[in-house]
Amino acid sequence: MAQIISRFVSKPIEGETAFNPEAQTGIPVTAASAGPVLSLCSPALPEGGLRLTMDEFSHPAYMVNHNFELIWFNAAARKTVFDGIETLPATSDERNVFRLLSSKAQRGAADELMRFHVGLAKSRIPANRFTTLCQGVAAPTAAQLQQLFDEARVEAPRQMLHVPLMLPDETGNGALREYTAYASFFREGIFIADVPEGSDSTSIMDFLARRDDVIRDLLKRRLPVLTHLAVMVADLQGSVRICSEMPPEEYFELINEIWAAMGPIFRRYHGTYAKHVGDGMVYYFFPQPESNYLSNALYCAQEVRREMQKISKAWQIRKNWLNELYLNTGITEGQEWLGTFQSGTSVELVVLGDTINQAARISDFARHGTTWATKSLVGKLTSEERGRLRYGVHRRDRDGRDIFVASSFSTVSSLVESDSGRAAKLNDIATLPITEVVEIQETV
């Protein structure tokens, strides 16, 4: 105990401030309004020094995803930034930060906050997509937001930026106080901390520099949300047989090679890793500001199929065998609850509902590396996106010939022999209309 106490009262090393739990929760404010890049190298703490955690961060802090939907906020942000809202709305659309800010009583602070968030959006969202973000906002405010977007300048990509803001004082007396808003960019979203003028920098800079710890801590606090999404399930066909024909070390090498090759493809199309189930995979595709999440899932599946053909050919040459390696893919869409399951060492994004089960069953139905999608997903594509899609089902005519009927759908039960073992396994999606996605033309 004496050693712990000595840490609190020990003299700071040269250039640092003695540890103070109340003071060491901020960043020094600068006058640079253009948003200069901040160094991620913070002053070194004394060996074994105490570190700030998310629970100790007392100033307003919150996180938005790349659709500018609020996914987490602390008590100070609730009071200072979001006008005292008690809980987050259930749906992702209602969590739109522009919609939430448009209801602020103190218009002066709201206008500055709007300008700040529009500036963040300008470098990440095309103009036509920004218009969709303003849906649900009152017409005068939407027009103001569009004007701010047109006036904002595009900032160069960076890991962190900061701008000055005037916000209500955290004491609740109604007066405005000068803050600095720090935005730190992650793949999962944008973390924003509003720090009062004159706060010390040492601990908070150390905190923000530990990017992996920050995002892990934020994901643990992410509140469940009802969101639109597409789900892709891909499974290795004949995995039991393939495993039995290969030495264990080679089989694990094959599976790891497949997942390593697919990872960059999923990232390119904004796929969010859910889990690996044996030798299968589950990925989520959420709405994106710059692209359609539904077409992202379809394009991703097409590239996955092409990459799998390359891997299959390489292993045929290596093993001198005739086996074809296929990933059978099922894709569907829906609106489900998104949350997290947590253990002591990991955080897993989890979607609750029938959407994953449907995608998994469609993947079970698919054969020979085909991609099958639901009618509901294809129907929600734009006419231009559907025009680039070649899809349909195979039928047999009276003479037993196989005919591909383009731009058509069929229920699963109509595509499976009723007396086959597969029919029983697919019974829960028997009436689901699906189609085979054969090819997608690349955009110019």
Q: What is the DSSP string of 145-204?
A: HHHHHHHPPPPPP-SEEEEEEEEE-TTSSS-EEEEEEEEEEETTEEEEEEEETT---HHH
Rounded to an integer, the average pLDDT of 240-256 is 93
Rounded to an integer, the average pLDDT of 267-295 is 88
Helices (H) and strands (E) counted in the chain, each on its own, are 16, 15
Rounded to an integer, the average pLDDT of 141-151 is 89
Q: What is the DSSP string of 349-363?
A: EEEESHHHHHHHHHH
Question: Residues of CATH 3.30.70.1230 domain(s) within the chain?
Answer: 226-440
Q: For the domain with range 51-223, which CATH number is right: 3.30.450, 2.60.40, 1.10.3470, 1.20.120? A: 3.30.450
pLDDT cut 70: percent of the chain above it: 79
Residue for token pair 């995002």: 215
Q: Give me the amino acid identity at 318.
A: R
Distance CA 198, CA 81 (A): 19
Rounded to an integer, the average pLDDT of 252-266 is 94
The pTM of the full predicted model, rounded to 2 decimals, is: 0.71
pLDDT cut 90: percent of the chain above it: 38
Task: Supply the CATH classification number for the domain 226-440.
Answer: 3.30.70.1230
Poorest-pLDDT segment among 57-71, 148-162, 312-326: 148-162
Strands (E), 188-252: 189-196, 225-236
Question: Residues of CATH 3.30.450 domain(s) within the chain?
Answer: 51-223
State the average pLDDT for the chain.
80
- Beta 371-374 vs 327-342: how paired, if at all? parallel
Residue 225 pLDDT greater than 90, yes or no: no
Distance CA 196, CA 28 (A): 8
The string of pLDDT tens digits covering residues 33-62 is: 333 333 333 333 334 444 556 666 788 889
Q: How far is CA 225 from CA 73, 77, 406, in A?
A: 14, 19, 37
